[in-house]
Amino acid sequence: MPGINPKTYEAAPSRKVAFLGLGVMGYPMAGHLAHAGHQVTVYNRTTSKSIAWCTEFAGAAALKHAPTPRGAATDADIVFCCVGNDDDLRAVTLGAEGAFAGMAPGAIFVDHTTASADVARELFAAAKNLGLQFIDAPVSGGQAGAQNGQLTVMCGGEAAAFEAVRPVAMAFARAFTLLGASGAGQLTKMVNQICIAGMVQGLAEAIAFGAKAGLNMAQVLEVIGKGAAQSWQMDNRGKTMVAGQFDFGFAVDWMRKDLGLVLDEARRNGAQLPVTALVDQFYADVQQLGGQRWDTSSLIKRLR
């Protein structure tokens, strides 16, 4: 699993925190919390990963791992979470061994999973009934952002809980912003994914077009990247797309999951998303090519 690149951490009192889910994102996020001096208890479905994490970050702070979400959440002031989808999120929060069962009244659950706005509101209500607080807080910035502690975090929930969490979460974030009531963080992440889908497809088409026209696309990207066509995707994925390299973090399978959430929400609210729906089908084509774990820039594989 990826480690971290330590940064200069904002001064914040040491807190007892838990982190549930040590995947590509959660592993380094929890690592930054440890390096910032917080007392961290981790839980992961595969226990060996929790043990590996404790070994890697030993000495940074008081660290331990727990066999259940409830065990990890016991005595924690803040419980952070980053798992796969709505069902995974319910599995680690609800039930006799879920985190909510171990949290003390007033403790805060911060969910970094990209999930539905509906599940965010559902768990916000469940937490409130137990005297707990819940913030939906999906992230953007990918694996590199997690490793460098430079994630953009989009939050929904109550202001008091947000303000209590912010100084701690800045250990792994560059921006941590409250955007509205419960569910607003997830809805904002959907906006983010709509933008990315369109930009990556446009970049893929541009590179494929230029290559067929006989242009040196590395040189072309260097030139147009200084003008109005510049974007994060061009700066960070343009050259790797030209080189046919697609092993840079966020996978096609996960993007399709996210776009499914977007399209479900659009059906409910009446938004028209013709480009997003089309790009979702293009990602389905990439999956059929065997690219389930390729990164999202692999859209260009359809065009070559």
Q: Is the pLDDT of residue 1 over 60?
A: no
In tens, the pLDDT along 136-146 reads 999 999 999 99
Same domain, 154 and 235: no
Q: What is the CATH number of the domain that holds 63?
A: 3.40.50.720
Same domain, 69 and 125: yes
Range of the structural domain that residue 64 is part of: 16-181
Full DSSP string of 271-282: ---HHHHHHHHH
Q: Considering only residues 281 and 248, tell me which one the structure prediction assigns the higher pLDDT.
A: 281
Q: Is the pLDDT of residue 249 over 80?
A: no
- pLDDT value of position 62: 82
Q: Is the pLDDT of residue 13 over 80?
A: yes
Q: Is residue 248 part of a domain?
A: yes
Domain boundary among 158, 181, 204: 181
In tens, the pLDDT along 147-158 reads 999 999 999 999
Same domain, 170 and 221: no
| Residue of 195, 295, 222, 224 lying closest to 253 (CA atoms) | 295
Q: Is residue 11 part of a domain?
A: no
Mean pLDDT of all residues in the chain?
96
Q: Which two tokens stand for residue 109?
A: 């659950």
- pLDDT value of position 235: 96
Same domain, 170 and 112: yes
Per cent of the chain over pLDDT 90 is: 94
Same domain, 153 and 290: no
Q: 152-155: long-range contacts (C-beta < 8 A, 24 or more apart)? A: 152/177, 153/112, 153/177, 153/185, 154/179, 154/184, 154/185, 154/186, 154/188, 154/189, 154/192, 155/179, 155/184, 155/185
212 given a catalytic annotation: no
Same domain, 175 and 194: no
Same domain, 274 and 169: no
Q: Is residue 227 part of a domain?
A: yes
- Number of domains observed in the structure of the chain: 2
Helix %, strand %, coil % of the chain (to 5): 50, 15, 35
Same domain, 137 and 106: yes
* Candidates 189, 212, 226, 257; catalytic one: 189
Same domain, 145 and 285: no
Q: Is residue 266 part of a domain?
A: yes
Q: Is residue 4 part of a domain?
A: no
Residue 181, SS3 per DSSP: coil
Same domain, 176 and 38: yes
- pLDDT value of position 279: 98
CA separation, residue 178 to residues 101, 158, 163, 166, 216 (Å): 26, 9, 9, 10, 44
pLDDT band, residue 2 (cuts 50/70/90): low
Q: What is the CATH number of the domain that holds 285?
A: 1.10.1040.10
Same domain, 215 and 177: no
Q: Is residue 65 part of a domain?
A: yes
Domain boundary among 134, 160, 181: 181
CB atoms within 10 A of CB 218: 12
Same domain, 112 and 214: no
Domain boundary among 181, 215, 245: 181
Residues in the chain: 304
